[in-house]
Structure 1
Amino acid sequence: MRWTIKPQPDREKISQLAASLGVDSIIATLLIQRNIETFEEAKRFFRPSLDHLHDPFLMRDMDKAVRRIEQAVKNEENILVYGDYDVDGTTSVALMSSYLQSFYPHVATYIPDRYEEGYGVSFQGIDYASDNGVTLIIALDCGIKAIDKIRYAGEKNIDFIVCDHHRPGETLPDAIAVLDPKREDCEYPYDELCGCGVGFKLIQALASRRGQNTADLIPYLDLVATAIAADIVPITGENRVLAHFGLKQINSRPRAGIKAIIHTLNKQQLNISDVVFIVAPRINAAGRMKHGLHAVNLLTETDFDTAVKFAEEIEIFNTDRRLLDKQITEEALQQITDRMEQEKFTTVVYDKDWHKGVIGIVASRLTETYYRPTLVFTRTGNKLAASARSIKGFDVYNALEHCADCIEQFGGHKYAAGLTLLPEQYEEFKQKFETVVSSTIDKKLLVPEIVVDAELELQAITPKFYRILKQFAPFGPGNMAPVFMSSRLRDTGYGKGVGEDEKHLKVTVTQHSSPAFGGIGFNLGNKKEIISNQKPFRAVYCIEENHWNGNVDLQLRLQDIKE
């Protein structure tokens, strides 16, 4: 791991902000690093308000979308709410359909089958709409590149409203409205919304025309926060406000489906990380292992006992997903070792029998292991499908664009994408992808980086200091949990490896004459020698609460240690 300390702000700026807020210089430093430099900006950061949300009508085509939905309601048209099968897609469909159904009955939902239809808008889905007398489809978390599909819908007299957040291609689909803050001609002030976030802006606009205000929409924010967490979008600006109030909803009055997922957990309060690792995988498991409509049914169910039955069913899907994930990851790692793939700048593996529903998770695992831009392929029908994952600082979507001549279809983001190609294109694509990455990547990116916010003396870690740190949450891209570095640490002599094969490291450390702090370093058990015999060492870590036997202590969650 390479440790990179963030540039430290101007000392005068730090002292001015610290004085105006009544905080110490470390807190002021952390704020300035997040572009918060005044009392008013800090107030806005620490006290998110629904008033901070932007006017939805600032988004291009929003007025057209609202008019078309109002026309459909007036004319009693059948509306189909269409979304992808991942967390962002299924929460979006649950959000839009449940809001529309609160005042209009002729609303149905559709999630494409991952295996029969693949990602995004499908001809099969449009045929379903046509067969059922649908005249308006609202597509969420997909559709921005569905040029031919939306043209086909038009031939069947079906209008489209697209709510997407993926990068558009050169041509926009011929829809009634295309809501996407990443459109170059869209001047909406915040372009990092997830698909469910764009859907929320649409219901916010609809609500304003029906005499409702944003506070009336708070019950929908548990879905938006779940999508923000799962889609790994920046938790800055508008996303931070939505995540803040969405988490409050999850922890106080969650909808029956989310309550059913979390009711067996022994946790008082869920944070964004809990949503990412507990709630989101279960919602995702439905689309991965069976069908995304199971997730929509869970998230729109209003009876808690029924929701518990749905959640139990999804828990089985999630258990199956974990077993497959483990098996395929082991097979992929073996493939890499056998072919010496770890010597390359990319990791590209393929097996015709791998389950399409878990190749994205496997790609993430391989990226963690070898820290290279990674693609995991499997066979689906007469084509090969892959999930791509990248490393920090490298845009895998751009790399795929450079390989477009040997890809059938692709889409996604900077760090995660999906694609399909023909079997005969595989070897050519694999070679070209390696060539593109090896010639464009900054080689230092191939070593995992820990970005350190500031150097800290252990004696500065007090209950008051931590209370303020907690208010920096919710954490995520753009507002990560602060990472500190401390030098000249010594273990008190009780440090040891813990867990299976002692792969984790448990320590109790002091610095000079500071109080002792417990620490845990996951997957750092192989560094036990560094702390032995009370040798001095350096550490990078986050600060967290450790709940044990009814006691709550502050501890260091070690990310790395060095001599």
Structure 2
Amino acid sequence: MLKPKYEWQLADKKYTALQVSQLAQACQVSEITAEVLLSRGYDTPEKVEVFLTADPKMIHDPFLLHDMKKAVDRIQQAIVANEKIVVYGDYDADGVTSTTIMFETLNELGANVDYFVPDRFKDGYGPNMAEYQQFIENGVTLLVTVDNGVAGNEPIDYAVAHGMDVIVTDHHELPEKLPNATAIVHPRYPGSEYPFNDLSGVGVAFKVASALLDEVPEEFLDLVAIGTIGDLVSLTDENRFLVTNGLKLLSEGQRVGLNALLKVSGLENQKINEQDIGFTIAPRLNAVGRIGNAGEAVELLTTFDEEKADLIAKHIDSVNDQRKQLVEDIYAEAIFQAQNTDNSNRKTLVITGTDWHQGVLGIVASRLVEATGKPTIVLSGNHSDSDLKGSGRSVAALNLFEALNAKREIYENFGGHHMAVGLTIKKENIPQLRDLFEAAAVEVNLDEHQALPLKIDGVVKADQVSVTAIQDLSKLGPFGTDNPIPEFEIKFDQIADAKQIGANQDHLKFQMAGKSQKIDAIAFKQGAMLPYLQVQPGDVKVVGTLELNTWRNQTKPQVMVKDLCVDAVPVIDQRTTHLNKQMFDRQTTYVFFHKKTYEKVQHYLNPAAQVAILSGESTLETVLAGDLTLVDCPDSLTRFANWLANQKPDAMTVYFYQRNNAYLDGMPTRQQSAKVFKFFANHPVVDLKKQLPDVVAHLHMEQNLLVFLIQVFFELGFVKIDNGRVSLVPNPKPQKLSVAPTYQLRQQQIKTQEKLLYSKSAALTAWIQARLTDNNKGVAE
């Protein structure tokens, strides 16, 4: 079977069909939407109304945030005194939107203000001592951090000691010792009365702006939506209201720089949703900070010059393309390293490279975790560097920060949390890092093969999916952290019209047919699954999200596939008479029934390729699992059937290459056998190295058949063979040809090849699948 990528977890039904129907009627939504609401605890019309209504009352009083009054008083004092103020930001989407809001607010109030966004590579994350010193030398007397600062004790202490006040606005984890700042505005400050603790950095900046302006500055909500979604904070409570209204503002296009960015991103004049931010807008803003200077992103967001905005947006878009190519190039090297023998046997991965761009190593690490299921650290440096820098990503079962923090002394720099870390380490300490990392995984009994959980909100039939139902579901958005987009298992009767799409044919498109309609489905990066759907169209299961697709003014339902599986073992028929290099570049175990075939194609195989050579008597004892590719054709159908019954494949591809075709050549007739024997009786010595073509022509017989009979005669003692010279043995013992091992082997090969090489594809697939589940060992028919 083709196993699902995730562990499907269907929501517990703590409600009845009657409750679904009643809630759907009371709230005037589809039963699909009502079922999702019930599964998420919204079990009364009153609760549903509160959840679905974007009520301004959800906005909390900014002065409930710790030190807000102190911050506002100090900023107002600086504005009145015309002090130099700097807004100190961060280089991700949350940081640049925070910087923009704080800068524009202070500018609107008449402040003498500038902004600074640190360079990821020169300045690092958060307060930087050298930059703080420069601000002081330039006469800055007030610095306001956004989306950073709570861990900046040393630079902030230095600033205070040298006459510069610092106001920290942040949302990151609070350290044990807090900085000596004039004010610390933070939603999770100990003892804080603020009712919602999951604001993003831009959310905190927005609250400071609200307090300074003495109103809710709705013109900033587009920026709040981008930073909040980009930083993956909870989309509940206040954030839900901010993002909902921010999406509306984004769609109205009131900010020049964002309009230019939407245009180059292909989103111009469209209704913007949270997925557009998460997959299109935020990644572009992040890209500038990853491989350039994020100050350019703030410049884009703050400009009123359309021509300038267009130029910056185009450059940011090109930087994003560069970022994607860097990720692809580095990932290709990294995954190759991850699959070597040493790493294949480990529960964790420490991948190192030379001259890899450090701004994208976190993305590469995330992709490796997704591909392998293993917590991963990716590091890089130059040949001349003594240090390597990089990022790590983890899985839920392993707290990455705690695992690596156990030996803090081996790092030059280190920080992070449960799922992600950043670090700098000397090259000579890499072995210690690998041992520490692996030991932590062993201690928690980490199973890299354990699939990640996927919560499924419900099961729907293809015939239930409609435009109206999907429009109802969209009312539950914006979707994100703590309010995930609903996932459904789709029930259907048959897969239809499955095909690969995309420039590289790496995506999959198909239809799920119910009794009354067919629903289109798209599975990104799943193009390789096409053969499995084609050979087992009735055994496919699909989980995905329901969306609308508009094409040529026609709107239809569409399923975006999250995961799929095939209940039966897919058998993919790729039988061939010729082997080439392209047939050996898959992630599979290549199975050879003849060592000679392996030797013939060995140069095609990657050194790390999984190979099983099953020639000899140990064939039946070899049990294989995962994706298997049977390269050549076995000799015995009975032994092959018995071997299949012991296997545990997820999928099986068959090439069944056969160099000598016994089935087509057939067995020699009695007359042919007698003719060959008589020839050797009349020719005492025949040198086959020189005379074989002449003998073949003389006897009017296929060469393969002649060679076969000579081998049979040799095994029976009728002839001798010495260095290619064949001579008749005087008065040989009479024996039947059928007792010769080569004769018996050919009989088996004919039977095997008839079944495996010349049966129709459907019949072959059914026969192999039956053998894979066959408990009656030895049944080959």
Interval of TM-score (by shorter of Structure 1 and Structure 2): over 0.9
Tell me the SS of whatever aligns to 1:145: coil
Q: Which of 521, 533, 538 in structure 2 is aligned with 1:535?
A: 538
Q: Which of 498, 503, 510 in structure 2 is aligned with 1:495?
A: 498
Q: Would you say the 8 A contact 2:32–2:469 is kept in 1?
A: no
Q: List aligned pairs for 1:228-267, cutoff 5 A.
A: 228-264=228-264, 265=266
**Which residue of 1 is the match for residue 456 of structure 2?**
452
**Residue 82 of structure 1: CA displacement?**
0.2
Give percent identity, aligned residues only: 33
**Which residue of 2 is the match for residue 10 of structure 1?**
15
**Residue 394 of structure 1: CA displacement?**
4.9
Q: Which moved more, 1:497-506 or 1:127-136?
A: 497-506
Q: Would you say the 8 A contact 1:56–1:204 is kept in 2?
A: yes
**Which residue of 2 is the match for residue 361 of structure 1?**
363
**Which residue of 2 is the match for residue 385 of structure 1?**
389
Q: Which moved more, 1:532-541 or 1:247-256?
A: 532-541
**Which residue of 2 is the match for residue 167 of structure 1?**
173
Amino acid at match of 1:561: L
Tell me the SS of whatever aligns to 2:422: strand
Q: Distance in 1 between matches of 2:446 and 2:348?
A: 13
Q: Which of 479, 482, 486 in structure 2 is aligned with 1:478?
A: 482
Tell me the SS of whatever aligns to 2:111: coil
Q: Distance in 2 between matches of 1:235 and 1:45?
A: 12
Q: List aligned pairs for 1:62-461, cutoff 5 A.
A: 62-208=68-214, 213-214=215-216, 217-264=217-264, 265=266, 268-338=270-340, 340-379=342-381, 383-392=387-396, 394-440=398-444, 443=447, 446-461=450-465
Q: Distance in 1 between matches of 2:395 and 2:100?
A: 32
Q: List aligned pairs for 1:21-32, cutoff 5 A.
A: 21-32=27-38
Q: Would you say the 8 A contact 2:168–2:184 is kept in 1?
A: yes
Q: Which moved more, 1:364-373 or 1:436-445?
A: 436-445
**Residue 445 of structure 1: CA displacement?**
7.9
Q: Write out per-residue CA displacement over residues 317-336 of structure 1, whole angstroms, 9 at most, x where no aligned residue.
A: 22322222221111211221
**Which residue of 1 is the match for residue 779 of structure 2?**
none
**Residue 502 of structure 1: CA displacement?**
3.7
**Residue 340 of structure 1: CA displacement?**
3.5
Q: List aligned pairs for 1:35-74, cutoff 5 A.
A: 35-74=41-80
Q: Check 1:551–1:395 CA distance in 2 against 1; reply closer, same or farther (3 A cut).
A: farther
Q: Check 1:103–1:488 CA distance in 2 against 1; reply closer, same or farther (3 A cut).
A: closer
**Residue 244 of structure 1: CA displacement?**
0.9
Q: Would you say the 8 A contact 1:244–1:474 is kept in 2?
A: yes
Q: Distance in 1 between matches of 2:21 and 2:553?
A: 39
**Residue 290 of structure 1: CA displacement?**
2.1
Q: Check 1:367–1:247 CA distance in 2 against 1; reply closer, same or farther (3 A cut).
A: same
Q: Would you say the 8 A contact 1:95–1:220 is kept in 2?
A: yes
Q: Would you say the 8 A contact 2:394–2:419 is kept in 1?
A: yes
Q: Would you say the 8 A contact 1:489–1:537 is kept in 2?
A: no
Give the structure, 1 or 2, with the largest relative contact order (CA under 8 Å, sep 6 or more): 1
Q: Which moved more, 1:513-522 or 1:430-439?
A: 430-439
Q: Write out per-residue CA displacement over residues 231-256 of structure 1, whole angstroms, 9 at most, x where no aligned residue.
A: 12222222211111111111103411
Q: Check 1:13–1:158 CA distance in 2 against 1; reply closer, same or farther (3 A cut).
A: farther
Q: Would you say the 8 A contact 1:352–1:379 is kept in 2?
A: yes
**Residue 98 of structure 1: CA displacement?**
1.0
**Residue 27 of structure 1: CA displacement?**
2.1
Tell me the SS of whatever aligns to 2:493: strand
Q: Check 1:540–1:316 CA distance in 2 against 1; reply closer, same or farther (3 A cut).
A: closer
Q: Would you say the 8 A contact 2:461–2:492 is kept in 1?
A: no
Q: Write out per-residue CA displacement over residues 375-416 of structure 1, whole angstroms, 9 at most, x where no aligned residue.
A: 222238764322222335654344344453433443444433
Q: Check 1:440–1:178 CA distance in 2 against 1; reply closer, same or farther (3 A cut).
A: farther
Q: Write out per-residue CA displacement over residues 301-348 of structure 1, whole angstroms, 9 at most, x where no aligned residue.
A: 122221111212223322322222221111211221235424322222
Q: Distance in 1 between matches of 2:400 and 2:20?
A: 37
**Residue 47 of structure 1: CA displacement?**
2.0
**Which residue of 2 is the match for residue 516 of structure 1?**
518
Tell me the SS of whatever aligns to 2:13: coil
Tell me the SS of whatever aligns to 2:477: coil
Q: Distance in 1 between matches of 2:397 and 2:231?
A: 18
Q: Would you say the 8 A contact 1:165–1:194 is kept in 2?
A: yes
Q: Distance in 2 between matches of 1:107 and 1:291?
A: 20
**Residue 452 of structure 1: CA displacement?**
0.9
Q: Check 1:445–1:167 CA distance in 2 against 1; reply closer, same or farther (3 A cut).
A: farther
Q: Would you say the 8 A contact 2:498–2:533 is kept in 1?
A: no
Q: Write out per-residue CA displacement over residues 146-196 of structure 1, whole angstroms, 9 at most, x where no aligned residue.
A: 111111111211111111111111111111111222333334222222111
Q: Would you say the 8 A contact 2:456–2:487 is kept in 1?
A: yes
Q: Check 1:73–1:132 CA distance in 2 against 1; reply closer, same or farther (3 A cut).
A: same
Q: Which of 448, 460, 466 in structure 2 is aligned with 1:462?
A: 466
Q: Distance in 1 between matches of 2:487 and 2:204?
A: 31
Amino acid at match of 1:27: T
Tell me the SS of whatever aligns to 1:443: coil
Largest Rg, 1 or 2: 2
Q: Would you say the 8 A contact 1:488–1:536 is kept in 2?
A: no
Q: Would you say the 8 A contact 1:524–1:560 is kept in 2?
A: no
Tell me the SS of whatever aligns to 2:118: coil
Tell me the SS of whatever aligns to 2:521: strand
Q: Check 1:97–1:501 CA distance in 2 against 1; reply closer, same or farther (3 A cut).
A: closer
Structure 2: where are the runs of 5+ without partners? 568-781
Q: Check 1:187–1:390 CA distance in 2 against 1; reply closer, same or farther (3 A cut).
A: farther
RMSD: 2.4
Amino acid at match of 1:228: T
Amino acid at match of 1:78: K
Q: Which moved more, 1:61-70 or 1:439-448?
A: 439-448
**Which residue of 1 is the match for residue 528 of structure 2?**
526
Q: Write out per-residue CA displacement over residues 504-538 of structure 1, whole angstroms, 9 at most, x where no aligned residue.
A: 22212223x23111112223333332354642432
Q: Would you say the 8 A contact 2:462–2:491 is kept in 1?
A: no
Q: Check 1:147–1:424 CA distance in 2 against 1; reply closer, same or farther (3 A cut).
A: farther
